[in-house]
Amino acid sequence: MLISEIVAEENDFVALRRQLHSRPELGYEEHETSDLVARLLGDWGYTVHRGLGGTGVVGTLTAGTGTRRIGIRADMDALPILEETGLAYASAVPGKMHACGHDGHTVMLLAAARHLARSRSFDGTIHLIFQPAEEGLAGARRMMDEGLFRLFPCDAVFAVHNWPNRPVGDFLFRPGVLMSAADNVTITIEGKGGHGAHPEMAVDPIVAGASTVMALQTIVSRNIDPQEPAVITVGAFQSGQASNVIPGAATLRLSVRSFAEAVHDQLQDRITAVARLQAESYGCTATVDYRRIYPALVNTPEETAFAHALAVELVGADRARIVARSTPGSEDFAFMLQEKPGCYFLLGAGDGPMLHHARFDFNDAILTRGASFWVHLAERYLAKAA
């Protein structure tokens, strides 16, 4: 499965990955990263387009006379997390780090890009999509809104994510829903401030907020079909600054996950109703800002079967599996899959801290595996007709 030419250059790509790791950039700020990606692609003979999504880069390469077109996407952005790995190549930018492995995703695709440019053992067109702002800022949606698939038509699109705590090099696929929709909700509860010694003269938004937190937990357990997964997490409760002052307002911030569209709608309706009615029962008012950030990620059956069959051929059925369960994580590649057929899959990265952890680091042992698979996938998808 491993391509010998890619393995021979492994040290170079590990060094490049660690360079990116030390210089993390947040969504829509990936200027250094996109400069590097564009320069390398240009050096290797790709036609390079810049500017979609602000810092996005698309490299295009055509060989032969085939008319099929494949898109392969890698995300480039980092997270606003203070790194705690202590690595020699740890983030040099305080408060920012590659805690999700996008540095590795970028370099895996670059390693594949270099080999594909040298070998040109395919018949058709490859569009390599280096996307900004996956982490909650919908860079995929912005690239599409600015003409991604109009400028670079694709018959199918593919992407991968490293997946900690699964055996190194295992390929995990799932046709249909693989990842959940993600919503962000802000509930603002307005009361009446006052002296902590005279609560009868105030309307306490903290009490209303506390009751709302508890009531929200009943939605999944009492309103949603128990066979339909859903998550409501109150991640922030902000109100007041002093023990003897009743504040005038409280703010709750929620993360909401779901897989089925009907459940998605039901959650929005119930969260909005619970927040408003709980607040009213304590004499307060509540406003709900409900934002649907990412839709559920839905892989198309044919493209998933194609990628899975190729992985089975390359690494064996015991290392390339169809998983039974979806994950409540979310991913903005879902937008691309709403418009194009394709497959998003997971690549086992071995034991270690989970994604978004301050001690996470991408496992360089999967760089050559991921890059080699991209080459095989592109060549097989764009194979010359018999």
Active-site residue flag, 332: no
Catalytic residue among 25, 30, 83, 134: 134
Name the nearest CA neighbour of 165 among 371, 334, 352.
352
Contact of 154 with 99, CB cutoff 8 Å: no
Residues 6+ away with beta carbon under 8 Å from 258? 180, 181, 183, 228, 229, 230, 231, 264, 267, 296
What is the rounded distance in angstroms from the CA atom of residue 55 to the CA atom of residue 382? 28
**Rounded distance between C-alpha atoms, residue 260 and residue 125, angstroms:** 35
E-strand ranges in the chain read 47-50, 57-63, 69-75, 124-131, 156-163, 171-173, 176-179, 181-190, 194-195, 230-238, 245-246, 249-258, 285-294, 297-299, 320-322, 342-348
CB 215 within 8 A of CB 272: no
Question: Chain centroid to CA 128: how far?
Answer: 17
The residues pairing with 250 across neighbouring beta strands, listed in sequence order, are 189
Q: Position of tokens 């991921």?
A: 370
Choose among 300, 317, 328: nearest CA to 170.
317
Catalytic residue among 30, 75, 77, 364: 77
- Give the other-Cβ count within 10 Å of 341's Cβ: 16
Q: What is the rounded CA–CA span in Å between residue 208 and residue 248?
A: 12
Q: How far apart are CA 383 and CA 360, in angstroms?
A: 38
d(CA 375, CA 144): 25
Q: Give yes or no: 25 in active site.
A: no
Per DSSP, the three-state class of 88 is coil
Q: Residues 189, 284: contact at Cβ < 8 Å? A: yes
> Which residues are part of the catalytic machinery?
77, 134
